Amino acid sequence: MKQRLLSLLLLAALTFSLAVPASAAGALPFTDVKSDAWYYSYVKDLHDKGIVNGTTPTTFSPQGKVKLGEALKLILMAAGYKEQAPTASHWASGYYQLAQSKGFLPSGMSLGLNDTISRLQIAELIVNILGLERTNQSPSPFADTSDLSALILSDHGIFQGTQVDGKSFFYPQNSITRAEISAVICRVYDYQASQKPEDPDNPPDIPEDPDEPDTPSGDYFYFNGKKVYVVEEMPKRSYDSSLFQVNENGFLTYDSDEYSCKIGIDVSRYQGSIDWAQVKQAGVDFAMLRLGYRGYSTGAIVKDNYFDKNIREALANGIEVGVYFFSQAINEKEAEEEAQFCMDILSAYPITYPIVFDWEPYSSSLNPRTDGLSDRMLTKCAVAFCKAVEARGYESMVYSNLTYFYLHFDLSKLVDFPLWLAQYNKTPTFYYHFDMWQYSSTGKVPGINGNVDLNIQFIPKK
């Protein structure tokens, strides 16, 4: 927390290019920031903390437009990244290079560092840099956009709309002002603080465990306010964000010198009866079918009651098939039991895609039997499942989202297994390599009623 506040202090001094030192907490010295202005409290809070100053001793210039270079440094350092030295003539070139190397820049962004940035572009940067995802699937609160980045920041309370005649407007193409960026930074700061990251000066008491790894060290980045150490042995993401395209059927595609792709969906009984001939005709290459699940309270293993119908009809229509099992294993023995359950059923079917370990948490209010499962044991369950699958000649895979891959799984133990990433975003921002990407939970495919998850598989060309 102390390190993040220091980063914010250093950040603002450079971001706003202010030469005038901050005054002590008290009345604002800026004649152009009135006490009844909507942004007054944001500017005052940041000014009192010494985070922002004026463009002159008595002027804040609240309507001044923010440039890409300023925005990059502001968001990256607020997210916990270190100060970046210039790599070219522009003072912000180091931040641009960092954002580019990590895939944070929105696809198609062609702004120069001195160009004015729009509200929507700011939203996309914040979502990519902080690794945020939607917290619900409610309709857009904005009358003028349903862009995913705007919805994500609305979910997290970082961006709010302007009320006009009872409607909320985002104004996605408008530039963002110094007043607006002050509000956004206050909200980002509040969001980061709400994540309650571990204080390195006051680490929690952890019981001794001979199997616990050594204290991590080396390069790191921040995700949701928490420090994430880089797993050097895990291959890094190399996909070019600019090469993701939407085809004529509405599916995301990818093609580069290194990778081609296949288009896929994943389904369970919740999609009901599916017309697989229509699905194939729509351009779907593969389907990941839920084979079954373990009850979160009873621990009983249950077969998905649409599985046999789905796999027979998908295969009959020339769609390649893999399966996933919704695990609630609490130890390695249960994970192996789940893998065996899958393989016993699959002995009757010629699948060509992986058997996937899919472990997801339940709210503690439901008293799930997995409540309190350690991250170490979760990782052991994933490894046990995958090893059991591969011992029988099947391909394995681990499915999860940014939060669990970064903050719960020990990725150093998953280096040998393909990853299936769930991240509902225009382009993926996951730091490491992944073989399959679930990029939407609200896809529409002919032959399927309602929403369906959409996926893309990356196929190496060499």
Per-residue pLDDT tens over the stretch 208-234: 334 555 567 788 888 888 889 999 999
pLDDT-based confidence at 14, cuts 50/70/90? very low
Number of other CB atoms surrounding residue 387 within 10 Å: 16
The winner for highest mean pLDDT among 35-49, 246-260, 366-380 is 246-260
- The one-letter code for the residue type at 271 is Q
The winner for highest mean pLDDT among 13-17, 223-227, 420-424 is 420-424
Question: CB of 324 within 8 A of CB of 295?
Answer: no
Query: Quick one: what percent of the chain has pLDDT higher than 70?
Result: 87
- The arithmetic mean of pLDDT across residues 107-116, rounded, is 85
Sign of the torsion formed by the C-alpha atoms of 10, 12, 14 and 18: negative
What does the mean pLDDT of the chain come to? Answer: 85
Q: Report whether pLDDT(23) > 70.
A: no
H-state helical runs in 16-142: 40-48, 68-78, 93-101, 119-130
- Quote the pLDDT of residue 69: 87
**Counting Cβ atoms within 10 Å, is residue 436 exposed (0-12), middle (13-18) or buried (19+)?**
buried
Question: CB of 212 within 8 A of CB of 187?
Answer: no
Half-sphere exposure of 457 (CA within 13 A, CB side): 19
Q: What is the CA radius of gyration of the chain?
A: 24
Q: What are phi and psi of 431, to 5 degrees?
A: -70, -30
Q: Report whether pLDDT(456) > 90.
A: yes
Helix axes 178-194, 40-48, angle to 10 degrees: 70
Q: Report whether pLDDT(8) > 60.
A: no
- Quote the pLDDT of residue 198: 42
Q: Report whether pLDDT(7) > 50.
A: no
Tell me the C-alpha distance between 191 and 198, whole Å: 15
**Which has more pLDDT, 173 or 101?**
173
Q: Report whether pLDDT(16) > 80.
A: no
- Quote the pLDDT of residue 218: 82
Contacts (Cβ under 8 Å, ≥6 apart) of 367: 297
Contacts (Cβ under 8 Å, ≥6 apart) of 20: 53, 54, 56, 57
Tell me the C-alpha distance between 85 and 104, whole Å: 18
Element housing 193 (H / E): helix 178-194
CA-CA-CA-CA dihedral for 276, 278, 284, 287, to nearest 10:
-20
